[in-house]
Amino acid sequence: MISVYDKTGLEELGTGLAEAGVEIVSTGSTAAKLRDAGVPVTNVEDVTGFPEIMEGRVKTLHPHVHAGLLADRSKPDHVARIEELGIAPFDLVVVNLYPFQDTVASGASEADCIEKIDIGGPAMVRASAKNHGSVAVVVDPASYGATLEAVREGGFTLDQRKRLAGLAFQHTATYDAAVASWFAGAYAPDSEAADSGWPGYLGIGYERESVLRYGENPHQKAALYTVAGAPASGLAGAEQLHGKAMSYNNYVDADAALRAAHDFDEPCVAIIKHANPCGIAIGTDNAEAHRRAHACDPVSAFGGVIATNRAVGAELAGQIAEIFTEVVVAPGFEPAAVEILTKKKNIRLLVADAAGFGSGVENRQISGGLLVQSRDAIDAEGDDPATWTLATGTPADEDTLADLAFAWRAVRAVKSNAILLASGRATVGVGMGQVNRVDSARLAVTRAGERVSGSVAASDAFFPFPDGLEILTGAGVSAVVQPGGSVRDAEVIAAAKAAGVTMYLTGTRHFFH
């Protein structure tokens, strides 16, 4: 039985099966395409004795099809019964389903989406997969070559049929989860989903992409999975041009770096270590941005991960080649850059887009469940400097305001509590991951050293007391941007006023844990 929506490789498959002496039963447009290719085919109507009806909704839902799929030929009574009824058993089923997910993604009408919910296809796939002791089921055109090879060698082994059945159930599970998610989220949401935007059901399947050497530590096992049925994208779908296999920690840091670099429209480089920035900078090109990002903390940048939102050229490649770097992630690499960087045997070069870093949701597993939230895409009203409130001091000049805007955007990439110092659209000191804002301020000032004088500061959340701010102003910070919202805002603003610095309030927070 062959009944496919995606007809990739269909003629080759049909021709190969026919040459091997396989009798083919098929449906509708699949049968027509096979016949046009000169492949002998029997229409399913000739097997069922019943016409296709309701615009194709009913064509294979018939005992003469499903008994042929479900007859367990290890059971004599099954074999005797189908022989008595004149039903021929199927040995091979090749089916793929209506493109429901693609139809929804296209913005099609609800009626069109409903029509693309396949019924007969999943029924045949599940029946064949259940009866894998007797039937082989193929759902992926990429498997046609192996299918023909097995047929030519006399048929599928039980282990092969088991594996194909598992893939078939994955196929229908992913499909059903997509349909159920659409009903729960868009087509028929419950009242809470309608009010909150969070559906009552989330169905997401994952497929193993690769097994990693180990996890965060050598005693932990790890693997990379990608969303089932989705096109390759983002870091998980990156093309690796060179270097050792990616590790778990490489992926974590590269994801943070990729996101940080793509937080900016201008040429940007982010250098990440242990998921925190060693430096972030923008420039006229990414070679300049890299020099300035690296200058923030060259000690920590050793062995780091670099991401840029522009293709890597020869100049940037030459700079990177001088520093031990684990991974470089970019939208592309010019041939000269590849030539330079591949002289380093172990450096990993990844071509990756920024898919998933804009709108959408992100998940975090907790014991017994999953937290889901909309992604922090730096798109809140308070992320636009035009909406900021000048709490104290004189309005920042154009250059200072540009630095503040840079610092505010860059601090999103820093683990909370986060204080980031910047000058000339580059980080000069980063205080990250401390359990109080005072220590984060001290760390940022210490890392900046002499560069703190005249720099600007961004804080990912409000100052609960004036003390953290006073560490910054006492070290020479000239302007500050922070969300505000503390019950002690008046005290913090008074401290800024007393220090003679400009301070803006955004009304938006960027915690990152």
Q: Average pLDDT for consecutive 10-residue bins of the chain (513 residues)?
A: 94 94 92 94 90 82 92 92 92 94 93 93 95 96 94 93 96 94 93 92 91 96 91 90 96 96 96 96 97 97 96 97 97 97 95 78 92 91 96 97 98 96 98 96 97 97 96 97 96 97 97 93
Last residue of a domain, one of 186, 216, 248: 186
Q: Is residue 49 domain-shared with residue 169, that is, in the same domain?
A: yes
Query: What pLDDT is attached to residue 42?
Result: 93
Kindly state whether residues 74 and 136 are assigned to the same domain.
yes
Same domain (yes/no): 29, 174: yes
SS3 content of the chain, % helix, strand, coil (to 5): 45, 20, 35
User: Is residue 207 one of the residues assigned to a domain?
Assistant: no
Distance of CA 96 to the CA centre of its chain: 24
Q: Which of 240, 242, 252 is nearest to 215 (CA)?
A: 252
Let me know if residue 89 belongs to a domain: yes
Predicted pLDDT at 58: 85
CA distance 440 to 495: 18
3-state secondary structure 11-44: HHHHHHHHHCCCCCEECHHHHHHHHHCCCCCEEH
Active site residues: 130, 274
Q: Which of 124, 154, 186 is the last residue of a domain?
A: 186
Query: CA 175, CA 126: separation in Å to the nearest integer?
Result: 12
Give domain status of residue 169, yes or no.
Answer: yes
pLDDT value at residue 181: 93
Report the CATH number at residue 252: 3.40.140.20
In a domain, 358, yes or no: no
Of 47, 41, 42, 45, the C-alpha closest to 56 is 45
Same domain for 344 and 389, yes or no, is: no
Are 75 and 154 contained in the same domain? yes
Residue labelled with tokens 């992409």 = 209
> Domain check: are 37 and 157 in the same one?
yes
pLDDT given for residue 232 in this prediction:
81
338 in the same domain as 395: no
In order, the DSSP letters of 160-227 are HHHHHHHHHHHHHHHHHHHHHHHIIIIIS--HHHHHHS--S-----EEEEEEES-SSSTTS-EEEEEE
Q: Which of 152, 186, 220 is the endpoint of a domain?
A: 186
Domain-embedded: residue 468: yes
Domain harbouring 83, CATH code: 3.40.50.1380
Q: What is the dihedral of CA 252, 255, 257, 259, to 10 degrees?
A: -140
Q: Does 29 share its domain with 178?
A: yes
Range of the domain at 276: 234-351
**Residue 482: closest CA among 459, 511, 455:** 459
Strand, helix or coil at 478? coil
Q: Are both 265 and 130 inside the same structural domain? A: no
User: At a CB cut-off of 8 Å and minimum separation 6, what does 333 contact?
Assistant: 241, 311, 312, 317, 341, 349, 351
**Residue 165 within a domain:** yes
Count of domains forming the chain: 3
Dihedral Cα 268, 272, 277, 279, nearest 10 deg: -50
Measured CA distances, 417 to 161, 275, 384, 388, 443 (Å):
54, 14, 22, 21, 11
What pLDDT is recorded for position 55? 77
Q: From the CB of residue 474, how many other CB atoms can be counted at a distance below 10 Å?
A: 12
- Do residue 181 and residue 281 come from a single domain? no
User: Is residue 132 helix, strand or coil?
Assistant: coil
Judge whether 491 lies within some domain. yes
Residues 271 and 141 in one domain: no
One domain, residues 19 and 146: yes
- Would you say residue 218 lies in a domain? no
Q: Which residues pair with 212 in a beta bridge?
A: 222
What is the pTM assigned to this prediction? 0.89
